[in-house]
Chain A
Amino acid sequence: MKTEAMERSAAGTADDGKAYGGINGLDGINDPNGSSGPDGKRDDGRKEISGTRGEVVLRVEGLCASYRNNRVLEDVGFEIRRGTLTAIVGPNGAGKSTLLRAMLDLHPRLAGSVRMFGRPYREGKARVGYVPQRSSVDWDFPTDALDVVMMGLYGQIGWLRRPRRAHRERALRALERMGLAGVARRQISQLSGGQQQRVFLARALVQDADLYFLDEPLAGVDAATERAIMDLLKTLRDEGKTVLVVHHDLQTVEDYFDHVLFLNRTVIAHGGTKEVFNRENLARTYGGTLRWLGGGAG
């Protein structure tokens, strides 16, 4: 399973490289540090880190967005390199989910550009996977776990076609990988919160994307699910995929993620966890509202 996914991913990258290699190359060479934020000091730290990583797969520049007539995102800019596992952290109302949705054309952008693999999202959807918040759907919907996972393949199946045995087997393998083989045919309303979240992960997994966006995948799940999800995300990263996670639990950031993006309406700091996850950036992001219990950083 793993090797197969890696092969497919490698092949996909090679194909895309032919079609879009020039653009990708330019992205990497000409502008390795293009997303300079309002604070010049951070850029030095980031240059060091980004130099050790793969090509830029996601570039956001000058992104602004409103939510109910309130400006929640102001001039957001950053770059994400291939093979990284990044946490987006920030206080409630910092615009984390809105940022994710704005990057995926699910929320209107007032300004700014978002490029994935060197082109707009709508031209490369097949390479991008999205795991919405579990609470964003109605789990009373009459369907079973396998059927939900199969939805990740609808883009490949196409109009007027029914899923075939091969699709069903791929969905089953993804469920197995999330430890859910036993509940494939269970109604989704009968699943626990952790199982529902893993069904969403399995659905993203069958998409076999190169860049994943996850909105609070660890919110309200049990410890076993948290472990299963983090194992999967780390495996995906090690396979050369890129993962962005909206994350709320500051205690686990250092254990789980190799990069952190501090967000509060704009990018406060961004870089390797070791370099930027410290008291100063936490205080700047969360202001006085933070009561951070960890003592390791800072």
Chain B
Amino acid sequence: MSGWIDGLLSLSQNARWVLFSSMLLGMASGLIGCLAYWKRHSLMSDALAHAALPGVIIGFALLGQKNLTAMTLGAAASALLGGWLIQAIRSSGRIKEDTAMGLVLSIFFGFGIMLLALVNRLPGGGQSGLDSFIFGQAAAMVRSDVIIMSAVAIGVVLLVAVGFKEWKLLLFDPSFARGVGLPVRLLDTVYMAALVVVIVVGIQAVGVVLMAALLILPGLSARYWTRSFGGMLAVSALFGGAAGALGTLASTMGRGWPTGPFIVLAASALFAVSLLFGLRKGLVPALAASGMRVRREVVGDATGEGGRGKRQ
């Protein structure tokens, strides 16, 4: 433990900013990830992240240098194109949504890797640092990245907080939401835009391959601790922030270590702890209570509780 604190104290000013922005990114991912979880968009977020890669490379190739604005815009454009293609393939009829996502994910990622190989052969391309977009390199972030990331994180927190009960209704029962007059289509668009923005700013730190894990794991872990949607959002933001910070810190301990895998490992560790010890559905508390439950079921059967199912 003290080694970690020493490590934290010895960090340069820049490294502390990087750590801070990874934490903010984790929080934003945790929040948007909760919405994606109930939208059943976990795989969708993975597809969008992978689909961003060609845009990053094209953005670089067009300007011939590492210009973050161009690369971010490229990432957003190609992620949105991927998302649009998934919709288009699905509504064309014959192909189901999961197949469409698998298709778009692998085709865009393969195309991106191919472009990457081409660009790396260009003069100066080898030092472009483009490889870091695959597995993430938080250390490569500069001050302007930190500012962008903070702005995105604050924007996401506000977005979720402002429309808290509206998001809840939209996610739980979209048909009814339309009936009470919610602008369902607008909210869907806003959610999709926020998801893409978080993915696009996140891939520099976490990488296109592992970005989805930072969206999925915190929300999933939070489910083991809370009974309310608000609680799930709060715990998910907490876990996401912790995973971002811990993973970044761990990756600074070795030269050139990619950040993404460490962030995802940290998120996975939090998930494992939740799965085992979570107060709501964790395995250990459930086992402890199971003795009681067995007794109750036996009593329930005796009083004819089993007969109710037959009516259906």
Residue on B with the closest CB to A185? B227
Does B97 sit within 8 A of A, measured CB to CB?
no
Tell me the complex Cα distance, A265–B226, Å. 46
* Contact A151 B173, CB 8 Å, known A126-B181, A142-B223, A144-B227: yes
CB proximity to A under 8 Å, residues B163-205: 163, 165-166, 168-169, 171-173, 175-176, 178-182
B295 at the interface (CB under 8 A from A): no
C-alpha spacing A54/B67, complex, angstroms = 70
| Inter-chain contact B179/A104, CB cutoff 8 Å | yes
Point out the residues of chain A lying under 8 angstroms from B181, CB to CB: 125-126, 155
* B227 CB contacts on chain A under 8 angstroms: 142, 144, 187
User: In the complex where A142-B223, A143-B229 touch, is A132 in contact with B173 (Cβ < 8 A)?
Assistant: yes
B7 touches A (CB below 8 Å): no
Interface of B is mostly: helix
A143 to B, closest residue via Cβ: B229
Asked whether, in the complex, the Cβ of A148 is within 8 Å of the Cβ of B312, the reply is no
A142-B226, A222-B311 are known contacts. Are A125 and B180 too (CB-CB below 8 A)? yes
Is residue B308 contacting chain A, with contact meaning CB distance below 8 A?
Answer: yes
- Does chain B have a CB within 8 A of A68? yes
**B residues less than 8 Å from A104 (CB atoms):** 175, 178-179
Whether B229 and A142, one on each chain, are in contact in the complex, defined by CB atoms closer than 8 angstroms, is: yes
By a CB distance below 8 angstroms, the chain B residues around A160 are 162
| B228 within 8 A of partner (CB) | yes
Task: Tell me, yes or no, whether A223 is within 8 Å of chain B by CB.
Answer: yes
A219's nearest neighbour on chain B, judged by CB, is: B312
With A222-B308, A222-B311 known as contacts, the answer to whether A143 contacts B172 (CB < 8 A) is: yes
- Report if B304 contacts A (CB, 8 A): no
Give how many B residues have a beta carbon under 8 Å from the other chain's beta carbons: 28
A side interface size, CB within 8 A: 38
Report the bound CA distance from A295 to B21 in whole Å.
Answer: 74
A223 to B163, CA, bound (A): 39
**CB-nearest residue of chain A to B171:** A141
Chain B nearest CB from A230 CB (Å) reads 16
From A137, which residue of chain B is reached at the shortest CB distance?
B173
Assembled-state Cα–Cα distance A106/B184 (Å): 11
Residue of B nearest to A148 (CB): B172
Q: How far is the CA of A136 from the CA of B226 in the complex (A)?
A: 24
Known: A138-B172, A141-B172, A141-B229. A106 touches B166 (CB 8 A): no
With A106-B175, A136-B175, A142-B229 as given contacts, are A151 and B166 in contact (CB-CB < 8 Å)? no
Q: Is B232 on the interface with A (CB-CB < 8 A)?
A: yes
A207 CA to B179 CA, complexed, in Å? 10
Min distance, Cβ A46 to any Cβ of chain B, angstroms: 29
* Residue with the highest number of chain B CB atoms closer than 10 Å, among A136, A142, A147, A203: A142
Report whether B38 and A152 are in contact in the complex, using a CB–CB cutoff of 8 Å. Answer: no
Cβ-defined contact, A130 with B179, below 8 A = yes
Establish whether residues B228 and A101, one from each chain, have CB atoms under 8 Å apart when the complex forms. no
Task: Judge whether B93 is part of the interface by a CB distance below 8 angstroms.
Answer: yes
Q: Which of A136, A144, A147, A151 contacts B180 (CB 8 A)?
A: A151
A82 to B169 CA separation, bound complex (whole angstroms): 30
CB contacts (< 8 Å) of A220 on chain B: these are: 312
What residues on A are CB-neighbors of B163 within 8 Å? Answer: 159
CB of B279 to closest CB in A, whole Å: 13
A69 contacts across to B, CB distance below 8 A: 93
- Across the two chains, which residue of chain B brings its CB closest to A121? B179
**A105 CB–B CB distance under 8 Å:** yes
- B107 CB to nearest chain A CB (Å): 26
Q: Which residues of B contact A106 (CB under 8 A)?
A: 175, 178
A86-129 residues at the B interface, CB under 8 angstroms: 101, 104-106, 125-126, 128-129
**Which residues of B come within 8 Å of A, CB atoms?**
38, 93, 162-163, 165-166, 168-169, 171-173, 175-176, 178-182, 223, 226-229, 231-232, 308, 311-312
Q: Which residues of A contact B (CB under 8 A)?
A: 68-69, 101, 104-106, 125-126, 128-130, 132, 136-138, 141-144, 147-148, 151-152, 154-155, 157, 159-160, 162-163, 187, 192-193, 203, 207, 220, 222-223
> Which 4 pairs of residues, A with B, have the shortest CB-CB distance?
A155-B180, A130-B179, A220-B312, A137-B173
A106-B178, A163-B165 provided; 11 other pairs, C-beta below 8 A?
Answer: A128-B179, A130-B175, A141-B38, A142-B226, A142-B232, A143-B172, A144-B228, A147-B228, A154-B165, A160-B162, A222-B308
Q: List 26 A-B contacts (CB under 8 A).
A: A105-B178, A106-B178, A126-B181, A128-B179, A130-B175, A136-B173, A141-B171, A142-B226, A142-B227, A142-B231, A147-B228, A151-B172, A151-B173, A151-B176, A151-B180, A154-B166, A154-B169, A154-B180, A157-B165, A162-B165, A187-B227, A192-B308, A207-B180, A220-B312, A222-B308, A222-B311
